[in-house]
Amino acid sequence: MSELSKLTIAAARDAMRKGDVTSVELTQACLGEIDKADILGAFVHKTPEIALDMAKAADARKGADAPSMNGIPLGIKDLFCTKGVASQAASGILEGFKPEYESTVTTQLFEAGSVMLGKLNMDEFAMGSSNETSVYGPVVNPWRSDDRELTPGGSSGGSASAVAADLCLAATGTDTGGSIRQPAAFTGITGIKPTYGRVSRWGVVAFASSLDQAGPMTKDVRDAAIMLETMCGHDPKDSTSADLAVPDFEAMLTGDIKGKVIGIPKEYRMDGMPNEIEQLWASGTAMLKDAGAEIRDISLPHTKYALPAYYVIAPAEASSNLARYDGVRFGHRAKMAQGDGITEMYEKTRAEGFGAEVKRRVMVGTYVLSAGFYDAYYNRARKVRTLIKQDFEAVFADGIDAILTPATPSAAFGLGEMADADPIQMYLNDVFTVTVNLAGLPGISVPAGLDKDGLPLGLQLIGRPWEEGDLLNTAYALEQAAGFVAKPNHWW
Amino acid sequence: MSIDTETARRVAKLARIKVDDTALPALAQEFSAIMGFIEQLNEVDVDGVEPMTSVTPQRLKRREDVVTDGSQQEAVLKNAPDAREGFFAVPKVVE
């Protein structure tokens, strides 16, 4: 096991600046770990030659004024379009697709000198909470408590597994309903979804455009601050990208949260919530209080309706976004039978190319947008979304700085365990995270403890819009108090 | 609310996804479960509430009406399953 691939971004940056290590050495260490970890299923397109070229370029540029991300080896979620490198969104319908362009996020990371090790597995089109809907097959969580293979969560399951198993220093993720924060919690790493509009969506395969945001998945909060800063910024190619200055997030990590007001929302105390989650939440609350924060009970009355609203809005947007996969411009086209016209071509292509969960959501979205149902479902869901956002606005107006909740309703579950459950059971994984996407807020998952089986559990902090710096600092204080240092046993 | 097989067939058609007749009843059942879950939204009083159009209160930026990109025919066609003579090729669509 290489020690170099275990480094944080901050430690690797400092070591490179001092000349103690090169990016080529870091990159080779990661590539070695990746080749030994195929059983995890995290990396689905390896790019060792590109990685070494990028590492050499980073080494040529290093020095005290090189960017923080210079020479840092990263895994990139398959949802990001990377020029000339397979970018399939883990879908059969994008088989063979190699974009002629680079996403804004990866452009910014690579211009800052970061190294791409390869593309990471995920749920197909980011639709899933267990990484079991991928055309590449599932990802395995490096954490285990017995002989069972566990899910790393989803949709950014490959990213989570790769970071937790020290195959890379950090990874990109995306989050539409919890797809950064839930897998981060399941694998004992840190993941932040920034405010909607902070990070450009250009070149990221679209799922639900009003909810999708990219963010970093890292080994600690400091790394999240460093990497997020490089990913953020205004992009004229994304009309929803915010034209706001990006602060130096790392410089805001003082760990001082004296006088901050932390809200504890009563609606997040769900019936049947495991005792361990309840205890973790209580101990996280106590930690923030000990650090000098004021704890206040709050109410977010429409919380219960977030998941049903999400399962109207996200499929509706997905059905529209995924209409482009028609076998004409890119990806898979079905073989046609004698007499087939263009409609048969569309129908067969989409039937062959999409997996079951994607088809289900596209059809649900089609239904809620169809004539006669648009008002009853789609417009009603958008009104409920307004109410959910107003819940948050009201508590922030009352002086709440951040909100503490559990990140997930349980620890990681076994792969295949939910196979026979109805889809709603899987959707419930996102019950604590989905409100944040609907309200467009920043949210971060921080590892905070282990359950009775030794599996990691995470807490979520939700911040005010555009105040990622303040949120990261609160997360930093929580991280220091929680002192989570556990690592999975190396079995792979 | 219960979704019948005919509705499932119609939705699959609208979504341009081929679903075999034998798979329609199971699909209809899944839709029914999901729509049943969504029905909870009917409990919420939404009178006078505006449907959300933008989660952040931002005006879309305007830009000069100028050509900023183009002349990339080769790149545009590069990933096409069937490209001929500089065009995407599809089955005949005009009788």
Interface test with B, best of A83, A342, A384, A426 (most B CBs within 10 A): A384
| Amino acid at position A322, single letter | L
pLDDT (mean) for A460-488: 98
Interface predicted TM-score (ipTM): 0.96
The one-letter amino acid code at A454 reads G
Whether A330 sits inside 8 A of B80 (CB atoms) is yes
B14 contacts A100? CB cut-off 8 A: no
B64-78 average pLDDT score: 94
Q: Which residues on A lie below 8 Å from B40 (Cβ)?
A: 304-305, 308
Q: What is the pLDDT of residue A423?
A: 81
Q: Tokens in use for A242?
A: 């915010």
The whole-number pLDDT of residue A163 equals 98
CB contact under 8 A, B90 and A195: no
Please give the Cα distance from A281 to A160 (Å, whole number): 22
**Claim: this prediction has a pTM higher than 0.95:** yes
Contact A389 B33 (CB under 8 A): no
- Residue of A195, A341, A381 with shortest CB distance to B91: A341
pLDDT per position as a tens digit, A352-411: 999 999 999 999 999 999 988 999 999 999 999 999 999 999 999 999 999 999 999 999
Average pLDDT in chain A: 96
A76 Ramachandran zone, left/alpha/beta (phi>0; psi -120 to 50)? beta
Give the closest of A195, A327, A363 to B12, CB-based.
A363
Enclosing H/E stretch for A43: strand A43-46
Is A49 in contact with A4 (CB distance < 8 Å)?
Answer: no
d(CA A258, CA A235): 35
Name the phi and psi angles at B83, rounded to 5: -120, 130
Give the CATH architecture of domain A4-254: Alpha-Beta Complex (3.90)
pLDDT tens, residue by residue, A274-303: 899 999 999 999 999 999 999 999 999 999
Measure in Å the smallest separation between the Cα of A33 and chain B Cα atoms.
Answer: 32
- What is the DSSP secondary structure assignment for residue B60, as one 8-state letter? P
Structure tokens at A256: 């001082």
How many Cβ pairs within 8 Å bridge chains A and B?
Answer: 169
Structure letter (DSSP) for residue A116 = E
pLDDT on residue B1: 64
| A304 to B40: CB separation less than 8 angstroms, yes or no | yes
Residue A5 burial by Cβ neighbours in a 10 Å radius (0-12, 13-18, 19+): buried
**Sequence letter at residue A448:** A
Quick check: B1 contacting A, CB < 8 Å? no
- Residues A378/A313, Cβ–Cβ less than 8 Å: yes
Tell whether the model's pLDDT for residue A63 goes beyond 80. Answer: no
H or E element at residue A312: helix A306-321
Q: Inform me whether the pLDDT recorded for A426 exceeds 90.
A: no
Q: In angstroms, how far is the first alpha carbon of chain A from the final one?
A: 11
The residues pairing with A461 across neighbouring beta strands, listed in sequence order, are A404, A444
Tell me which residue has tokens 């200055």: A245
Which residues of chain B does A362 touch, with a Cβ-Cβ cutoff of 8 Å?
A: 15, 17
Amino acid identity of A106?
Answer: T
pLDDT score for A280: 97
Chain-chain contact of B16 with A196 (C-beta, under 8 angstroms) = no
Q: Confidence class of residue B10 from pLDDT cuts 50, 70 and 90?
A: very high
DSSP sequence for A96-157: T---SS--HHHHHHHHTT-EEEEEE--SGGG--SSS-S-TT-PPPPS--SSSS-B---SSSH
Q: How confident is the model at residue A421 (pLDDT cuts 50, 70, 90)?
A: confident
State residue B65's pLDDT score.
Answer: 94
Residue A152 Cα distances to A137, A144, A147, A193, angstroms: 13, 10, 15, 18
Would you say A480 and A256 are in contact if contact means Cβ atoms under 8 Å apart?
no
Is A383 touching B (CB cutoff 8 A)? yes
Average pLDDT score over residue span A231-249: 95
User: For position A2, what pLDDT does the model report?
Assistant: 75
Measured CA to CA in angstroms, residue B43 lies from A281, A305, A381, A425, A438 at distances of 29, 9, 12, 21, 19
pLDDT score at A1: 59
Nearest to A186 by CA among A157, A213, A228, A218: A157
What are the tokens at A489?
């046993």
Interface of B with A in 27-86 (CB under 8 A): 27, 30-31, 33-35, 37-44, 46, 49-56, 58, 60-61, 63, 72, 75-76, 78-82
- Closest partner residue to A330 (CB to CB) among B53, B60, B79 is B79
Inter-chain CB proximity B78 and A100 less than 8 Å? yes
Q: Do A386 and B88 touch (CB under 8 A)?
A: no
Q: What is the pLDDT of residues A7-59, one digit of tens each?
A: 999 999 999 999 999 999 999 999 999 999 999 999 999 999 999 999 999 99
Whether A436 has a pLDDT exceeding 70, the answer reads: yes
Residues in chain A, how many? 492
Strand partners, A295: A262
Which of A345, A382, A424 minimises the CB distance to B51? A382
* Residue A417 burial (10 A CB sphere; 0-12, 13-18, 19+): middle
Which of A346-355, A422-431, A475-484 has the lowest average pLDDT? A422-431
Residue A325: pLDDT over 90: yes
Best CA proximity match to A406, nearest among A320, A284, A289: A284
Digit-coded pLDDT (tens) for A171-230 = 999 999 999 999 999 999 999 999 999 999 999 999 999 999 999 999 999 999 999 999
